[in-house]
Amino acid sequence: MTNNNPFLNAQKQLKGAIEILNNPLYTSKLEVISNPKRILEISIPVKMDNWEIKVFTGFRSQHNDARGPFKGGIRFHPDVTRDEVKALSVWMSFKCSVVDIPLWGWKGWVIVDPKVLSITELERLSRWYVRELYKYIGPEVDVPAPDVNTTPQIMAWMMDEYSKLVWVYSPWSFTGKPLTSGGSKWRGRSTAQWWAYVLQKYLELIWDELNWKSFIVQWAWNAWLTFAEILTDLWAKLIWISDSKWWIYNKKWLNLKEIISLKNDRKSVVDYSDGEKVSNEKILELACDILVPAALENQIVAENANNITAKLILELANWPVVPEADTILFSKNIAVIPDILANSWWVMVSYFEQVQNNTNFYWDEEEVDSKLKTKIQKATVDVFNKAKEHKVPLRTGAYVISAKRILDAMNDRYENI
């Protein structure tokens, strides 16, 4: 049976990459790089609107800082395991490394359903999170960013609280902020545009293009809809799309503008006028050129990998394909563009935001997009060539590149671990 523990899967992928590198200096540090440097667990007291004091639990896993400050998102979500937080911090290190920026992974989490909090309770929680952690974060140490259920507004509150605590206005202490608080232009559009750049570059490398390719997107919301819109503008055909309730299908094409209108009106895709409604069972196994798992983890596992018929998989969710499934798909010549490459867009834009904050000089949208495109296209070429060199899946190629960069920095800085 498939092991769905994300932290063990991350360690397994890392071990495989280091074995390919086959260097005693790297192998000797496997245990060090396989575990977070520091895991913090904090209690966050918040005065609720009814004057009750409620204590929330927060985590912060700081994986590796060999090449620069820690970097990663803060999630506000009721469901979390310690291993999940650890795994996300490891993956963040590799996302930073594969696109070659001087930041390294961490992940923060508060166990809370933010939907049940008032705006004032949410602000108190955000500020108290910083109060409990500010000695362990900062522009030279650890730079937080938004993640699931955290917003630019929350980042602005956190940046403001940190600035008060250190007595210096510090826009560079948090990223993902509103433009009025030192945020970067193009951040919203950059998500979907990054995914499109990755996909286009990969297809170019295999002498192919998007024209009339059919694709399936496993989540009809926000950036995923924008991504689908970019692909349809490039003459790809959206034939399946889902939300949390149902999938809809039209073998010719789906009218994306109508779907976007439905979601803006808070309706389900089942209200679409010209599509077949189907349940979520077996949906990932349907025929298409490009499959985009963009919702949940552990979607393609050993038990269903043999049934996948897509020609290419683009991972926009975190770890939707487990290691055992990777092996099966590779044997079937189904390429998987891995999450650590495809989903590294936001850390790149966060890095751009830090650079702009540090110089106090802000770029226009065209400059951000140009730099973004340059970085992701180079990273995609690097991963493609490394995978081809070692005759391994793209994910393994990405891990080989990332692991070597991290381990080289560790060897240069602290040889005698």
Convert the pLDDT of each residue in 281-299 to its tens digit. Answer: 567 888 889 998 877 777 8
Better-scored residue on pLDDT, 160 or 280: 160
At residue 311, the 3 state secondary structure works out as coil
- What local confidence, expressed as pLDDT, does residue 280 receive? 62
Confidence at residue 28, expressed as pLDDT on a 0 to 100 scale: 85
Residues 6+ apart with CB under 8 A from 208: none
Give the model's pLDDT for residue 308.
Answer: 93
Q: What is the mean pLDDT of residues 250-262?
A: 73
Q: Which amino acid is at 99?
A: V
Q: Is 177 a catalytic residue?
A: no
Q: Where are the beta strands (DSSP E) in 150-242?
A: 214-217, 237-242
pLDDT digits (tens, 9 = 90+) for 115-148: 999 999 999 999 999 999 999 888 888 899 888 8
Cα 106 to Cα 133: distance, rounded to the nearest angstrom: 13
pLDDT at 157 over 90: yes
For residues 210-220, average pLDDT: 80
The two three-digit tokens of residue 141, written as one number: 């140490």
Confidence of residue 51 (pLDDT cuts 50, 70, 90): very high
Residue 2 pLDDT > 80, yes or no?
no
Per-residue pLDDT, 383: 96
Mean pLDDT across the chain, nearest whole number?
86
Determine how β-strand 104-111 pairs with β-strand 70-77. Answer: parallel
How many angstroms separate the CA atoms of 120 and 209, rounded? 49
> Which of 107, 177, 375, 404 is labelled catalytic?
107
The pLDDT value recorded for residue 10 is: 82
Apex 201 CA angle, 191 and 401, nearest 5 = 85
Tens-digit pLDDT profile for residues 92-107: 888 899 999 887 777 7
| pLDDT at residue 1 greater than cutoff 50 | no
Q: What is the pLDDT of residue 68?
A: 82
Residue 80's SS3 state is: coil
Between 414 and 62, residue with greater pLDDT: 62
Residue 279 pLDDT greater than 70, yes or no: no
pTM across the whole model: 0.86
Burial of 153 (0-12, 13-18, 19+ CB in 10 A): middle
Question: Does residue 3 carry a pLDDT above 80?
Answer: no
Q: Going by C-beta distance under 8 Å and a sequence separation of 6 or more, which residues neighbour residue 233?
A: none
Q: How confident is the model at residue 400 (pLDDT cuts 50, 70, 90)?
A: very high
Angle formed by the axes of helices 365-390 and 82-98, nearest 10°: 100
69 closest CA partner among 168, 123, 137? 137
Confidence of residue 238 (pLDDT cuts 50, 70, 90): confident
Residue 193: what pLDDT?
A: 83
Phi, psi of 325 (to 5 degrees): -70, -35
pLDDT tens-digit series, residues 352-396: 999 999 999 999 999 999 999 999 999 999 999 999 999 999 999
Can you name the residues that pair with 278 across neighbouring β-strands? 247
